Amino acid sequence: MTTPQQLIRPEILAMSAYHVPPASNMIKLDAMENPYPLPAALRHQLGQGLGEVAINRYPDAGYGELKRRLRDAFAIPEDAGLMLGNGSDELIQILAMGLARPGTKLMSLEPSFVMYRMIATFCQMQYVGVALNDDFTLNLNATLAAIEREQPALIFIAYPNNPTGNHFPAEQIAQIIRAAKGLVVVDEAYEAFAQDSFLPRLHEFPNLLILRTLSKVGLAGLRLGYMVGATAWINEFEKLRPPYNINVLTQYAAEMVLTHIDELHAQTRLIRDERAVLSAQLSTLPQLSQYPSDANFILVRVPDAPATHTALKVDGILVKNLHGSHSLLQNCLRLTVGTPAENRLLFDALKSALMAVDA
Ligand SMILES: *Cc1c(COP(=O)(O)O)cnc(C)c1O
């Protein structure tokens, strides 16, 4: 009898599955979700409409209507290629699948989104991480040198970056795109909170792809990501897409919400305002230091992150403990910006947890 250990590739055996902690009855500030539900009238309308969707039929695999609404809502140029994914995670995987061949390299900055490294391993690409500076700014010289040395086929830059929250100067990103002979993917998962994008500059860079997701603006449960770039590239990656990767319920719900995009814009505006309020509160805690954020979360450093993480959990608040995930993230926690009430509870719980450590 053949065992998994004999057949599964050793690098997969060595991995652990992506861990999602249980969160029932917790205030969930660990995963950059939008804390606000849709307005009641829209939810009602959605419920009615979803009941009428033909779930016995395969989806419209061209996603024509959904793509048209995405182009309208996010000002995607008509002459640019657009491809949809079951979350942007699927698109990252498709990109790696398309470019992987023996010896090809996938590069990203570190610390950044962990799926870049994991997917490189899934697809048997060689992973190259380039460390950010201690303050999480981009080390441009080291990055350009690594591009020259490693010749990566694929580079991912999260803009703004997760888990650090900052976004790198556009001119530095432009230099990286110009220096790269491979594809550069600017991952704009947090674009709504930074309000800065490379989309208007797509035509300047033939090797640039823009990756976006609806997850962080309020539709994480739908699993819908999209990728924009030159049609010559998008047409090739389309070949790797499972034919029905966006299900009919997601298509219907996304189409409806996109026609009410102002509701999502209003929510992201609230979150940006609350980010400033939370940041001001955090700055009153002498034991804590925070990093500037252009996203919907704030990275902080405390004297003992695992202890603070546990204390918050006891108080019913779930945040992300990053201690141990990268050497630059020692004693760091990532706090998703929630509703004003959630943020207040977070602040109070943090304050007492930090005082307990002091005592
Ligand atoms: C959350 C996140 C994603 C994944 O988004 P999904 O569309 O939910 O798969 C991609 N990139 C970055 C940088 C993220 O933080």
CA nearest neighbour of 291 among 357, 340, 335: 335
Check whether 357 has a pLDDT greater than 70: no
Going from the Cα of 266 to the center of ligand 1, the distance in angstroms, rounded, reads 21
CA–CA gap between residue 48 and residue 63 (Å, rounded): 21
Average pLDDT over residues 121-140: 97
Check whether 359 has a pLDDT greater than 60: no
CA–CA gap between residue 15 and residue 93 (Å, rounded): 17
* CA-based radius of gyration for the chain: 21
Contact by Cβ (8 Å): 146, 179: no
Please list every protein residue whose CB sits less than 6 Å from any atom of ligand 1.
32, 87-89, 113, 158, 162, 187, 189, 213, 215, 220, 225
Going from the Cα of 122 to the center of ligand 1, the distance in angstroms, rounded, reads 17
**3 state SS of 220:** helix
- Average pLDDT of the chain is 96
For ligand 1, atom 14, the nearest C-alpha belongs to 189
pLDDT at 356: 80
Q: For 56-107, what is each residue's pLDDT tens digit?
A: 999 988 999 999 999 999 999 999 999 999 999 999 999 999 999 999 999 9
User: Token pair for residue 325?
Assistant: 């995930």
Going from the Cα of 215 to the center of ligand 1, the distance in angstroms, rounded, reads 7
Q: For 271-309, what is each residue's pLDDT tens digit?
A: 999 999 999 999 999 999 999 999 999 999 999 999 999
For ligand 1, atom 11, the nearest C-alpha belongs to 189
pLDDT at 78: 96
Q: For 246-280, what is each residue's pLDDT tens digit?
A: 999 999 999 999 999 999 999 999 999 999 999 99
pLDDT at 358: 60
pLDDT at 323: 98
Check whether 217 has a pLDDT greater than 80: yes
Contact by Cβ (8 Å): 138, 146: no
Portion of the chain with pLDDT greater than 90, in percent:
95
pLDDT at 20: 86
* Token pair 């999209």: residue: 226
Contact by Cβ (8 Å): 29, 338: yes
* Token pair 């609404």: residue: 69
Buried residues in 22-44 as b, exposed as e (16+ CB within 10 A) = eeeebbbbbbbbbbbebeeeeee
